[in-house]
């Protein structure tokens, strides 16, 4: 099934079914995002170098608090 067939099939769904599908897609996307963040910020993950740089900047006093600090 290609994307156009899927789109046509979705348009045949009732409003309630479309809403349920949207909720399922949003939850699926959230889980995938969470998994990616966990991988990126695990030891040796792609984001650890950036995180360590930010931590070093904070330790050196090179950061500025955002907002009112609460």
Domains of the chain: total = 1
Could you list the residue range(s) of the whole structural domain that residue 10 is in? 3-59
The band of 70, judged by pLDDT with boundaries at 50, 70 and 90, is low
Per residue in 24-55, is it b (16+ CB within 10 Å) or e — as a string?
Answer: eeeeeeeeeeeeeeeeeeeeeeeeeeeeeeee
> Is 46 within the bounds of a domain?
yes
> Is 54 within the bounds of a domain?
yes
DSSP track, the chain: --HHHHHHHHHTS-HHHHHHHHHHHHHHHHHHHHHHHHHHTSTT-TTHHHHHHHHHHHHTT-----TT--
The pLDDT score that the predictor gives to residue 26 is 98
> Is 53 within the bounds of a domain?
yes
The pLDDT score that the predictor gives to residue 69 is 59
> Is 69 within the bounds of a domain?
no
State yes or no: pLDDT of 68 exceeds 90: no
The band of 64, judged by pLDDT with boundaries at 50, 70 and 90, is confident
> Is 52 within the bounds of a domain?
yes
> Is 40 within the bounds of a domain?
yes
């Amino acid at each position: 099934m290609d994307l156009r067939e899927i789109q046509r099939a979705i348009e045949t769904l009732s409003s309630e079914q479309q809403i349920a599908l949207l909720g399922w897609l949003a939850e699926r996307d959230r889980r995938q995002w969470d998994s990616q963040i966990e991988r990126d910020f695990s030891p040796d993950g792609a984001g650890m170098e950036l995180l360590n740089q930010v931590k070093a900047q904070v330790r050196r006093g090179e950061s500025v608090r955002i907002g009112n600090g609460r």
